Chain A
């Protein structure tokens, strides 16, 4: 993944200093969320802001769970992100394998269409999508946010790049000589080799889906929200209690941060891998 290529330059103290300051800037808002979520609203609106965590964290978390149905929202987000991740990983591995290793008429054109449409923001189709959802009576229901996200052009491209390198042609040929069907080859040869790529794509997809905002806000109501939709309604009260808002934010961010703490290295590697073009 990351080659152990020796970097051309040795970093000096200045490099550490700049990176250190940047790291502080990147991490501080997380720390501050924790601080604000563990204080009271009046402490937050004092003349001198608080800089260390206080004792009110659990009280505020409880309030947030009550006010914005964050419990339901967390469960909904888990369902949606899980289903979407499974769909994207499976459909991308299938198509990515075909694009990487199989020859068929129209392959170049189909691949060009796939890559080309990566540039089209899905937002722009939101209105017809909304009309379809209303017509299918799916408004405010989870399938409304699951169905449109089950496939991803980026995922197909990512798995293709991965499989071109990871899957030797000889393996597939050996399978064919042994008389395995296409499906069988996919199941017993491609899938095991594809697993590391699928894992990275799965993490990226899970995070992106968990954090998705525009379409869930349009398709779901605050009665049956995902976490992001719930956060929106939490922030829009007439006089929102800031410490409760921050507690909700913490709840919505924590699951992804946990994934990140465990798998940060792999996620970094995955993004860098997906970034190397052509």
Chain B
């Protein structure tokens, strides 16, 4: 494998001149020293180009062709037909809508709870390491394991959650067949797995906020809530933008949870929680249309770019109005 090859074949045994930061780049015969950095980054970039960048770009090319799973060697030019077929497919729009609602249902509560938990974890507490580790445990599980467990907890007839709901007199909910309930169930899995992780990221951001800011706010008579609003939140803004972007990207490509929630690639009997990621998988690996799946992938990619830009624009705008 490329990784094991020596990283800097050009690096000779010759002594190199120390290059303190800011020193002018020297021209001359010491090519060995000048090429060494490229040797260091080469393993990463070679593999990255082969398995990261090339497939992404090539996906666009594939999306313009008819490619079937069984005969993936054969590609027939279609132009934009894969895309127009996609936009005429009601299931595509259904999946797009579900991705949006499940994305909102999972991302918004998740980040709000993470913010609150991080705030609490930032207090002086006994056993704070214990709380932090416990909070991160869901992150250590896999999508598959978490979904199988939650699918059982959310079971219609024998699930623990319905048992609790029935005992308190609310009555059982059909967490699989009902549209909203099933989308809530899928979102709950995502929220469970990622809340603690995001809380730690917020906590790291909070610890970078100088304590003097709180002290002076307190001296000005700011309540705890006012301190949170006017010191913590502004200080965390870059971190919040970061988590919003990352969670949005995660939500856009949600796949494992809806696939395993009931165990089929349709995302429920009436596709009530089929996401774009699942729709893409269904097109490619259940219906064998790799070309059309590639078109879905590119639509997802463009969606992510638009959402990231939107986030950045909102963040920049809020920055301006605040200062």
Could you tell me which A residues sit within 8 Å of B by CB distance?
Answer: 2-3, 5-11, 15-16, 18-19, 22-23, 25-27, 29-30, 32-33, 36, 44-46, 48-49, 86-87, 90-92, 94-95, 97-99, 102-105, 107, 110, 114, 117, 119-132, 134-135, 147-151, 153, 156, 169, 172-173, 176-183, 186, 207, 210-214, 217-218, 227-228, 231-232, 234-236, 240, 242, 245-246, 249, 252-253, 256-257, 259-260, 264-265, 267-268, 271-273, 275-278
Contacts and interface: CB of A to CB of B under 8 A. Distances in A.
A274 to B, nearest CB: 9
A48 to B, nearest CB: 7
B219 interface: no
Contact of A214 (B152, B214, B255): B255
Contacts of B12: 181
Contacts, number: 350
Given A121-B249, A129-B55, 20 more contacts: A11-B124, A27-B137, A30-B137, A90-B43, A94-B43, A95-B45, A122-B52, A124-B298, A125-B54, A128-B62, A131-B67, A147-B1, A148-B51, A181-B11, A182-B36, A235-B151, A240-B263, A252-B144, A268-B136, A276-B205
Contacts of A156: 44
Interface string B6-39: 1110011111111111010100000011101111
B279 interface: no
A49 B163 contact: yes
Interface in B140-165: 140-153, 157-158, 160, 163
Q: Chain B at the A interface: mostly helix, strand, loop or mixed? A: helix
A40 to B, nearest CB: 13
Interface in B189-238: 192, 195-197, 200-201, 203-205, 207-208, 211, 214-215, 224, 227, 238
B138 interface: yes
B271 to A, nearest CB: 18
B277 interface: yes
A256 to B, nearest CB: 5
Contact of A10 (B33, B123, B301): B123
Contacts of B8: 182-183, 186
B120 A19 contact: yes
A232 B258 CA distance: 12
Nearest to A218: B285
Nearest to A258: B140
A46 B158 contact: yes
Contacts of A11: 120, 123-125
B33 A182 contact: yes
Contacts of B6: 183
Given A176-B18, A181-B12, A181-B13, A8 B211 contact: yes
A267 B196 CA distance: 13
A223 B104 CA distance: 37
A27 B285 CA distance: 35
Contacts of B200: 268, 271-272, 275
Contacts of B134: 23, 26-27
Contacts of B149: 29, 32-33, 36, 246, 249
A227 B259 CA distance: 16
Interface in B90-123: 113, 116-117, 120-123
Contacts of B277: 123, 214
Given A26-B134, A148-B51, A271-B136, A44 B158 contact: yes
